[in-house]
Amino acid sequence: MPDALRLALTTLTVLRVQGPERLERRTAGRAMELAPLVGLLLGLAAAGVLSASQALVDLPLLPAALAVATLALLTRGLHLDGLADLVDGLASYRDPEGTRAVMKAPDLGPMGMVAVSLTLLVQVAAVMTCTLHGRGSAALVLAVVTGRLAVLWACTRTPSATAEGLGALVAQTARRTVAAGWTVAVAAGFGWYATVATDQEQLVRTVLAVVLGLGLAWVVGRHAVRRVGGLTGDVLGALCELATTASLVVLATGS
């Protein structure tokens, strides 16, 4: 488990802890099973920045932007880069091999740039709205954890697009029972908190945020299998950002 935790931290965050001496698919699978835990740590860090900046700034726009920027910095922007690469690849309308070639190109295409810009804009707006409703920190943590749940689920079922790379290392290595357990725990835990802190309406919103976030990731993941050929590191990053964003949008609805 220590090897898996170190691998999860080095893969999903900016932390450069010493990884395992021998990298195996079993260890990689256990690392992906710890992705929601890493998401919790990232979410708490971003929520801390949100709360601290709220104490200094009256309007919620800047705190929301700083919280989203914190997530990008703590993940080295890798998930956003994956989203940009996947969108550029899908927009090329090539076969799987050609799509992967576009995704590997070092330059950023216009569709990828638009996708990242709009994603960040929506995330900031959603966090700001949640903050105005008094649930900014909780919503941010839940959305970030949901994004990492999407990564975990993708590693349970989606085949690898290539024989090497991150996708080949983690594809179909995580256990579905663990993914299901994490999902129930997250929905139940945050749902309980929402009920205690606010009301039943927030409980429904919390469950929907998890379900719709994972649902969007599932749809995009299936499309990636057809267009990209399977799982890659870019696909994982894109699924993470999409699930996070969808969850934030759901949590921003209502009063």
Label each residue of 5-53 as H, E or C: HHHHHHHHCCCCCCCCCCCCHHHHHHHHHCHHHHHHHHHHHHHHHHHHH
Predicted pLDDT of residue 20: 65
- Cα atoms in the 13 Å half-sphere on the side-chain side of 144: 27
Domain residues for the domain of 71 are 34-252
- Does residue 232 lie within any of the structural domains? yes
- Does residue 71 lie within any of the structural domains? yes
Predicted pLDDT of residue 19: 64
- Does residue 206 lie within any of the structural domains? yes
Residues of the chain with pLDDT under 50: none
- Does residue 209 lie within any of the structural domains? yes
Could you tell me which residues come within 8 angstroms of residue 238 by beta carbon, excluding any fewer than 6 positions away? 79, 82, 83, 85, 86, 87, 220, 224
- Does residue 17 lie within any of the structural domains? no
- Does residue 8 lie within any of the structural domains? no
65-98 pLDDT, tens digit each: 999 999 999 999 999 999 999 999 999 999 999 9
- Does residue 70 lie within any of the structural domains? yes
Please count the structural domains in the chain.
1
Predicted pLDDT of residue 255: 73
Predicted pLDDT of residue 125: 97
- Does residue 200 lie within any of the structural domains? yes
Using a cut of 0.85, tell me whether the model's pTM lies above it.
yes
